[in-house]
Amino acid sequence: MSTFTRSSTSSSTSSSTGSTSDGRNGTMNGTTGGTLKATGANRRPHLSGMTWLVWRQHRAAFWTILAATAISVAWIVYQRGQLVDFLDGYGYPGKSLDEAGGTLPQYVDAFSFISIGLQAIPILLGVFLGAPLIAGDLENGTAKLVAAQSGSRTRWLATKLALAGLVVVVSTGALSAVFGWWWNPVKSESVVMEWTSGEAFNTTGPVPVALTLLSVFGGVALGVVLRRTLTAMVVTFGFTVALQLAWGYFMLSLGNAVTVTTNKGVTGDSVSPSLPHGAYEIDQSFVTGSGDLLGWGTCSGSGTEAARQVCLDKADVVGWATEYLPLSQMNAMQWFGASILFALTAGVVAFLFLWGRKRLV
């Protein structure tokens, strides 16, 4: 509103001056100019108050993130076009990609290259956006200046988190969606990417959004506690790396493993259980006539094949048991894992507001 008032006042002053000096033409020009300026100011969207202040303070980081996202999205869209052209020319899915030979690796390498970059986003944004977001203000005294104004500390903190969170959600959400769209035509092909690997599971669906939000807000919390930008960035780097490792360790436990068994013996052809296309095999073991499971290394110490068979018969081994995760569970596993990460993020945000009520400045 203040911008609009200044523009209108300025235009009115110019109009009056023009009327006095130029007569009818001056009045017409001044009135028209004032009307156009007022209309333009009225139509132009703008931020104000605390939102404007926070955006202006961090606009370089925000615009860099959004610009990098736009460039990455454009490159992924181009790569998908290349992949689809290759698959159409090759005759997929009529022909298996296992027989593609030397023409496939360039597309697999493209997936790996982008996936590495996407998996690094939570770490990079946690260190370079989250850690300095408030730690910098605490270190250089800006937080005290803000606290002395009419706006409350809670509002200032909420605006900071909201704008940073919005930029994170927009950028990671867009990259996740377009990367999943690129991968979708060959999603069930392990020769391209295993869906249970971090390069696929952590870069599609809601997981990258959840991981990045927790990394960024975790970095903010560390910055608030440590109150030194460089120290907060170093500690945040360790936190985000540890988060990635812990997430990778527990990731597969998000699904419900399925076990399929056979009773046709353990040697010869067609005795192993057949798994659905795209399924990820977790473990394989022997199954006995009573339904008990024995490790696949049972009787491996037998000197000859005949002695091994005698050992297996004595153990009453009748077939194989294979434990696997079907591809159909991927979406549910991602949302379940993301809900846990979102809950942890909510806990961090609650901590920030509780801490900020008394110790933010």
Instruction: Provide the pLDDT for residue 313.
Output: 84
What is the rounded average pLDDT of the residues 53-74?
Answer: 92
Closest by Cα among 324, 328, 325, 302 to 313: 302
* Mean pLDDT, rounded, of the chain: 83
Predicted confidence (pLDDT) per residue in 253-266, tens digit: 999 999 998 888 77
SS3 278: coil
Predicted confidence (pLDDT) per residue in 267-285, tens digit: 776 677 888 888 999 988 8
Predicted confidence (pLDDT) per residue in 307-331, tens digit: 888 888 888 888 888 999 999 999 9
Number of Cβ within a 10 Å radius of residue 50:
19
Q: With 80 as the cut, is the pLDDT of residue 160 above it? A: yes
Angle made by CA atoms 41, 45, 50, in degrees to the nearest 5: 110
